[in-house]
Amino acid sequence: MNVKKKGMGGFRSTCLVLLILSWAAVSHGAPAGRLYRYINGEGVVVIDDKIPPNYVAQGYDILSKTGQLLDTVAPSVPQNPVEKALRKKALAAREKEERFILISYSSIGEIQAAMARKLDQLDREVKGIKTNIEGSTKRIALEQQRAANYQRGGRQVPENVKETLFELEAEVIKSESLLELKQEEYEKTEERYLGYIDRYRQLKAQSETNKPE
């Protein structure tokens, strides 16, 4: 009886070791010419040459370097309806994006030109906001000097000066928040277009691979 238990324990230990090794192999990196497609914790489709171990159990696709589907590894644990719906939604969103890329652009040069135009527009907006902040800051300094002059003369600071200072300071705070948003939009826009370029290469390479000889 004890021998039987020992044998079962050894079997379980072996399975556990194999599972850990398989996770380590996946997280370390894909074989040459292979990529992995999986859904991350934010419900976004990710294509990379490795998978973090915590995403392995949910299942993933194995792709060629050109983006062609080679194999699909089913989830090793049951997925609840919410997880299935999120995965389906993420894959549908990626397919929609791929269709958009192929319909909107006929070359990598077109994507780069579109990216340059958009980033140039955002850059001008960022510079405009910075100019406004600089102008408001200078006006604040002037109004503060006016207020100080009144106080040095033993007089009350006029209400209109106080109101002007309040409005200018509020404008600076608002502009600084807008500046932060625009800078973040710039970074995300650049990242999105670079992703378009990478995916366009993969889609075109896949198209060439699938062409009949």
- Write out pLDDT tens, residues 127-146: 999 999 999 999 999 999 99
Residues 79 and 168 in one domain: no
Residues 115 and 156 in one domain: yes
Residues 201 and 112 in one domain: yes
Whether the per-residue pLDDT at 185 is higher than 80: the answer is yes
Residues 191 and 131 in one domain: yes
Long-range contacts of 183-191 (CB under 8 A, 24+ apart): 183/126, 185/122, 186/119, 186/122, 186/123, 186/126, 189/115, 189/118, 189/119, 189/122, 190/115, 190/119
Residues 83 and 147 in one domain: no
Residues 58 and 151 in one domain: no
**Is residue 33 one of the residues assigned to a domain?**
yes
87: domain range?
A: 28-104
Long-range contacts of 54-61 (CB under 8 A, 24+ apart): 56/22, 56/23, 56/26, 56/27, 58/83, 58/87, 60/36, 61/36, 61/37
**Is residue 139 one of the residues assigned to a domain?**
yes
- Out of 44, 76, 104, pick the residue that ends a domain: 104
- Out of 64, 84, 104, pick the residue that ends a domain: 104
Q: How many domains, the chain?
A: 2
Residues 90 and 133 in one domain: no
Decide: pTM greater than 0.85: no
Q: Would you state the pLDDT for residue 125?
A: 96
Residues 33 and 86 in one domain: yes
| Residue 21 vs residue 191, higher pLDDT | 191
Closest CA to 77 of 59, 61, 60, 52: 59
Which of 38-42, 45-49, 118-122, 199-203 shows the lowest mean pLDDT across its residues? 38-42
Residues 125 and 197 in one domain: yes
Residues 92 and 118 in one domain: no
**Is residue 12 one of the residues assigned to a domain?**
no
**Is residue 155 one of the residues assigned to a domain?**
yes
**Is residue 73 one of the residues assigned to a domain?**
yes
**Is residue 11 one of the residues assigned to a domain?**
no
Residues 121 and 201 in one domain: yes
**Is residue 4 one of the residues assigned to a domain?**
no
Whether the per-residue pLDDT at 33 is higher than 90: the answer is no
Residues 130 and 114 in one domain: yes
- Out of 84, 104, 124, pick the residue that ends a domain: 104
**Is residue 13 one of the residues assigned to a domain?**
no
Percent of the chain's residues with pLDDT above 90: 43
Give the mean pLDDT of the chain.
Answer: 81
